[in-house]
Structure 1
Amino acid sequence: MHLNAFLMGVGHHEAAWRHPLTEPSRITDIGHFQELARIAERGKLDSVFLADGLALWGNVKHNALGGLEPLTLLAALATVTHHIGLIATVSTTYNEPFHVARKFASLDHISGGRAGWNIVTSAGEAEAHNFGIERPAHGERYQRAEEFLDVVNALWDSWAEGSIVNDRQTGIYADTSRINPIDHRGTHFAVKGPLNIQRAPQGRPLLVQAGSSEDGKEFAARHAEAVFTAQQTLEDAQEFYADLKARLPRHGRQPYQLKILPGISPIIGSTEREALRLEKELEDLIVPAYGLQQLSNILSVDLTGHPLDGPLPDVPGNPDGQQSRVRLIKDLAARGNLTIREVINKLAGGRGHRVIAGTPEQIADELQEWYENGAADGFNIMPPYLPGGLADFVDHVVPELQVRGLFRTEYEGRTLRDRYGLSLVEAR
């Protein structure tokens, strides 16, 4: 299976910063993230991943927010690691293709072929307001993303293989017949090209996507090579997995060309009782006002007038917001007949991703069940607290998976695409 470490501040649990196992002052400390990257590489994980948004997420009054920009951070991590992939989130809505193509090609060169791009279209209203516009409609964002990716791919291909001659005798450094403008003119972009950096070691970075709406799934079926997703039950995960894999042949693709990695937040103890005690400690540190604001933002409905111990009201959701996450939360509340407070507590650990508390063997059992029953090609590991939660996973769960023959014991190949069983991309 494939395992990715999703790094976020001092942990994915929203109360992690209050727990004595963490140091919230380190969320802008490069040494903290270098330590995390080394831990993940020690465990032979495929990659580390950084989420991003172009606005301040949540209420900084009650959470340790305000972190480093992902591409800058990953360039620094590339210099202290040798094998692990480096995946950054970058929006297609508030960037320009030339900038993004150049930055990822640079990261791929700096890391020796370990770059990955998590493609997002930015559903947040606050993000739009930081760029002086109203949030574009859901469909419009994906239309822009389609053209954006076409332009970026063309720019990466504007330097073909063999374009660098480097012949000092003749004074020929490059074969300019193999470096060409792209002359793109479309609905959203006009880009001449070529890119002003040589072809990247992988040809192009690994392309990752995280949207689970209909538009998001179609985009993933056409373009993505890995998908980060959120499901709460085996059945839901199997349904998503089968749906997305079935879309691939329409785009001339094979199932192995797209890896589906549900997020999972493991709370690990030497005994189940110890794990449950840690889960309870984190839950007791939740600030309800913070969780309520986060839930209101996701649902695009102000819930402050509703009693915390009353039921979650039937909310329509915003068609231009986070469609798949709204559905997941409503299903979660209905399935468990949960109050608003209980929904907040459920979301605190992983924002809708599955939280498992147990021993390393119990965690491995769950991962194996999903992996072997058509629900996942691997997992996006979201430690509830950092660095300890990642170290526990690497030192205790990974060896259990290795003993079962479910995970590598050594790195093979050179690039991130090698890790995912994908070939280098040749220029079109």
Structure 2
Amino acid sequence: MADRKIILGMVLTDGYGNLPGAWRAPHVDPGNYAKVEANIRYAQAAERGGFAFLFTPDFPAVRGDVEHSTISNIMDPLMETAAISQATSNIGFVLTGSTTFQEPFNTARQFKTLDIMSHGRAGWNAVTTSDPAVAANYGKPVADRAERYQRAHESIQIVQSLWGSWQKDAWINDQESGRFIDPSKLQPINLRGEHVASRGPLALPPSEQGQPVIFTSGGPSPHLLALAGRYASGFITEVWTIEEARAQRDALRNAAHEAGRDPDEIKFIVGLMTTVAPTVRDGLDRRIAIAGDVIEARLPHLSAMIGVQIQPQHIDKPLSSEQLAGAHASPMDPRSAIALRVAREGWSPRDVLAHGVIDYHPVTVGPGKVHADHMQEWFEAEAADGFWLAPDVYEDGVDAFVDEVVPILRERGLYPDGYVGSTLRENLGVPDQYGLGAWLS
């Protein structure tokens, strides 16, 4: 595997960024949530950097303090991405779609249409859904885990079978003879499971990559690993340490092997939140200015993580030697060791929090080398095949990463000099597939 290269993706959320308060940054248009033009700009910037894909999570319900915080979704992943696909040429699109509340025929039709529209750049992040707020929007109760995952298995098999129900050479399209389709190569699938069913066929031809790429996302639960091992070519996850990531990646690869697949066919993509700035101090100041009161509100959490009582009036004073001597990382939170390490470097509690030690993913702050070093360490430790980046503020954070970090990765031979091909499969380095996986047929 000497020719391995880092895969980069970028999460696309709300038009603002992934730092609390990004929507209020002075250089950001507060109306971006409703402007697909903004997301087109960010997609084009990521494409300039050779990113393999954009990733859109989806939580189809209102949650949180919406009076002061944004709604952390793009308006509709499929509709916005369809527009973005017409303004880009190479970057792929990994869109989240629920197997719990969406019917397989609709999923198959919508995602394959996007794949055709984008000339082979679509991926489906197939997820189960258990949140009561989402369930309420669909007028259904929350199913138990066993039912959700059984439905997910059935749904993915039906979707992939529908994708293959129009055979590759079914479209004759011969004006002279008058034959449009060979009906023997466009056939129903007639699949029925315990929870979902479809007759088919799907009246859509293959795209340049055949059909969309299957992804899954989440943590290391046995149910999810079994699902990913059988169907997925990409796995998007949240991990905070190299050890945790390597263990999860190994478990994923074992699940693929048990399903009869080559483990290299599944790419393990970990999250990374980025603030690119001339110095670490500049980056921390940027994060403090944008995050505002959120940092101070997190002080009790930091105290619990490192076992030290920190008074609000001391938030800008580094911990004393006595405090550090008594500090210890909480075994209940894998981020605690990171927080303690940063505190021992002499940063104040405010700066420790600005380092992102309570964020959802590891955070890198500072010049390009800081970000490149982090990714190189994880990649060479085989803790990741790639990273899905969450820039602090989209308006300038994407371009900063492309201009300051991507060249370093390329100089080190860690990242492709350009797109390998025009399809998502080519740029991920995953095999061709059409219809249900051969190992499942």
> Do the structures match in fold with TM over 0.5?
yes
Residue aligning to 1:401: 409
Q: What pairs with 1:30-179 in structure 2 (closer than 5 Å)?
A: 30-65=36-71, 67-179=74-186
Go from structure 1 to structure 2 and tell me whether the alpha carbon gap of 1:46 and 1:333 turns closer, same or farther (over 3 Å shift): closer
Residue aligning to 2:24: 18
Structure 2: distance between partners of 1:419 and 1:209: 18
Q: What pairs with 1:183-198 in structure 2 (closer than 5 Å)?
A: 183-198=190-205
- 1:367 aligned to 2:375? yes
Output one character per residue of 1:341-367: Cα deviation in whole Å (capped at 9) or x when no partner. Answer: 99x968978852111112100110010
Structure 2: distance between partners of 1:19 and 1:427: 46
Structure 2: distance between partners of 1:337 and 1:268: 20
Structure 1: distance between partners of 2:358 and 2:427: 26
Report how far residue 287 of structure 1 moved. Answer: 8.0
Go from structure 1 to structure 2 and tell me whether the alpha carbon gap of 1:423 and 1:60 turns closer, same or farther (over 3 Å shift): same
Residue aligning to 2:316: none
Unaligned runs of 5+ in 2: 1-5, 306-329, 341-348, 437-441
Report how far residue 283 of structure 1 moved. Answer: 3.8
Structure 2: distance between partners of 1:347 and 1:184: 51
Residue aligning to 2:12: 7
Q: What pairs with 1:160-309 in structure 2 (closer than 5 Å)?
A: 160-212=167-219, 213-286=221-294
Go from structure 1 to structure 2 and tell me whether the alpha carbon gap of 1:286 and 1:114 turns closer, same or farther (over 3 Å shift): same
Match of 1:148, SS state, is helix
Are the counterparts in 2 of residues 13 and 348 from structure 1 also a CA contact under 8 Å? no
Output one character per residue of 1:244-284: Cα deviation in whole Å (capped at 9) or x when no partner. Answer: 11222111111220111100001111112211222322343
Are the counterparts in 1 of residues 266 and 430 from structure 2 also a CA contact under 8 Å? no
Go from structure 1 to structure 2 and tell me whether the alpha carbon gap of 1:287 and 1:397 turns closer, same or farther (over 3 Å shift): closer
- 1:27 aligned to 2:29? no
Report how far residue 411 of structure 1 moved. Answer: 1.3
Go from structure 1 to structure 2 and tell me whether the alpha carbon gap of 1:190 and 1:8 turns closer, same or farther (over 3 Å shift): closer
Greater CA drift, 191-200 or 388-397? 191-200
What is the total number of aligned residue pairs between the two structures?
395
Structure 2: distance between partners of 1:76 and 1:337: 41
Kindly provide the amino acid, as one letter, of the partner of residue 246 in structure 1: N
Aligned-pair RMSD on alpha carbons? 2.6
Are the counterparts in 2 of residues 108 and 115 from structure 1 also a CA contact under 8 Å? yes
Go from structure 1 to structure 2 and tell me whether the alpha carbon gap of 1:97 and 1:347 turns closer, same or farther (over 3 Å shift): farther
Kindly provide the amino acid, as one letter, of the partner of residue 43 in structure 1: G
Structure of higher CA gyration radius: 2
Go from structure 1 to structure 2 and tell me whether the alpha carbon gap of 1:77 and 1:16 turns closer, same or farther (over 3 Å shift): same
Are the counterparts in 2 of residues 184 and 192 from structure 1 also a CA contact under 8 Å? yes
Q: What pairs with 1:306-321 in structure 2 (closer than 5 Å)?
A: 311=304
Are the counterparts in 2 of residues 159 and 427 from structure 1 also a CA contact under 8 Å? no
Residue aligning to 1:420: 428
Greater CA drift, 109-118 or 135-144? 135-144
Match of 1:387, SS state, is helix
Are the counterparts in 2 of residues 159 and 194 from structure 1 also a CA contact under 8 Å? yes
Are the counterparts in 1 of residues 8 and 387 from structure 2 also a CA contact under 8 Å? yes
Detail structure 1 runs of 4+ shifted over 6 Å in the superposition: 307-310, 346-350
